[in-house]
Amino acid sequence: MDDLARARVELALLEERARDLLKEFLGVRAALSTQRAKIGELIRTKPSAINYFPTELLLSVLDLAVHTSEDPGRKQQLASVCRRWRDIILGGPSLWTTIHVAQLDTSSIKTHLERSRGAPLDIVIKAPVWALSKHLALVPSLDIVGSCAHRWNSLVIAGDYCRDDEDAEMALAEFIIKRINQLHFPSLKRVAILTHCDITLQVFLSAVRAPALEHLEFEAIAIRHPDFLPVTTIKSLKMDFFDSPRSSPSFPYMIPTQALTDLSLAWVQDSLILQPNSIHFPSLKVLELSCMRMDLAGQFFHLIGKI
C-alpha cells in the first residue's frame, strides 16, 4: 500500500473517531441538562430546614414569636411565610389566646375567641388614660370578651399617659372596672393594673368573683377608704402607690397573708398604725420595700416579726 492509500485509511479512522466523540459529547451535554433539571426540581421540592422541625417544636417557636409581640398583625405575617406555618397558626388554639382589646376590632376579637377553642384567655387592654372617646370605643369589645369571663386567665390594664384632646372624668382603669365589676371570673389567676386606679372600686377582685386569683399587681394605685377587699388565695402581691393610704393607716392589716409568698410595696409615705409582730405571713419568701421612708420600712420589718 502506497503512502496515499495509508493516509486515506488514517483519515477515515480519524473521521470515524471524531463522529464517535461528537456523539458522546452530545450525549454528555444531554445528560448534563437532565441532571441540572433534576437538581433544580429537588431544590424546589425539598422542605426547608425549618420544616424539618416537629410540629410541636415549631408551634412553640411560633407561640413565642406571637406572644412577645404587641403587633396585632403578627400572626398574619407569620402565616404568610408558607402553607405549613399557615396551617399551624390557624389550627393552634394557643396562638389565639392573647387578646389585645384596644388594638383589635370586634370581628378580630370574635375570630380569636373562636380559634382559641375554649382555651384560657389572656386579656390585654392598653389605651390612653384620659381620653373618653377612646374609652367609649372599647365598650363593644369589652362586652364581647366579657361574655367569656369564665375563660379569663389573666388581665392586664395599661395606660398611655399622653393626654388626648378630650379629658375623661375617670381614668382608663376605672372606666374598664365599671364595665366588668359585676362579672364572675372563676379561672382568673393573674391581674396587673399598670395605670392609675382606685383599688377600693374593684369588686371583681373579691374572693367571690375571682376565687382562683393568685397574682396581683397594682401600679399608681390609690386607696380612698379602708374597705380594700382581701383575696385570700393571693400568692404574689405588688402595690405601687400613687396616692399613699392616708385615710387607711392600717391598710397592711387588709393584706391577705395566708398564701402570700411574695410581697412588694412602693411609695408608702404616710404614717401607718403598725404593731410589732401583729401580722403573720406563714408562707412569705420575698419582701421588697422601695421608695419608702426608712422609719416606715423598719415598722414593716417589726410588723411581720419572723418570716
Find how far residue 222's CA is from the centre of its chain: 27
Mean pLDDT across the chain: 82
More confident residue, 224 or 42: 42
- Give residues with Cβ within 8 angstroms of 282, minimum separation 6: 257, 258
For the segment 87-146, what is each residue's pLDDT rounded down to a tens digit? 999 999 999 999 999 999 999 999 999 999 999 999 999 888 777 788 889 999 999 999
N-terminal to C-terminal alpha carbon distance within the chain: 121
For the segment 243-296, what is each residue's pLDDT rounded down to a tens digit? 555 545 556 666 777 788 998 887 665 555 566 666 777 888 888 877 766 666
pLDDT for 215 beyond 90: yes
d(CA 155, CA 100): 10
d(CA 22, CA 16): 10
Q: What are the structural domain ranges in the chain? A: 53-95, 97-213
Q: What is the pLDDT of residue 165?
A: 40
Q: What is the pLDDT of residue 166?
A: 44
3-class DSSP string for the chain: CCHHHHHHHHHHHHHHHHHHHHHHHHHHHHHHHHHHHHHHHHHHHCCCHHHHCCHHHHHHHHHHHHHCCCCCCHHHHHHCCCHHHHHHHHHCHHHHCEEECCCCCHHHHHHHHHHCCCCCEEEEEEEECCEHHHHHHCHHHHHHHHCCHHHEEEEEEEEECCCCCCECCCCHHHHHHHHHCCCCCCCCCEEEEECCEEHHHCHHHCCCCCCCCCEEEEEEEECCCCCCCCCCCCCEEEEEEEECCCCCCCHHHHCCCCCCCEEEEECCCCCCCCCCCCCCCCCCCEEEEECCCHHHHHHHHHHHCCC
State pTM to two decimals: 0.76
For the segment 147-195, what is each residue's pLDDT rounded down to a tens digit? 999 999 999 998 876 554 444 556 788 889 989 999 999 999 999 998 8
d(CA 148, CA 139): 15
How many other β-carbons are positioned within 10 Å of the β-carbon of residue 13?
Answer: 10
Ramachandran area for residue 284 (φ above 0: left; ψ -120 to 50: alpha; else beta): beta
How many other β-carbons are positioned within 10 Å of the β-carbon of residue 239?
Answer: 21
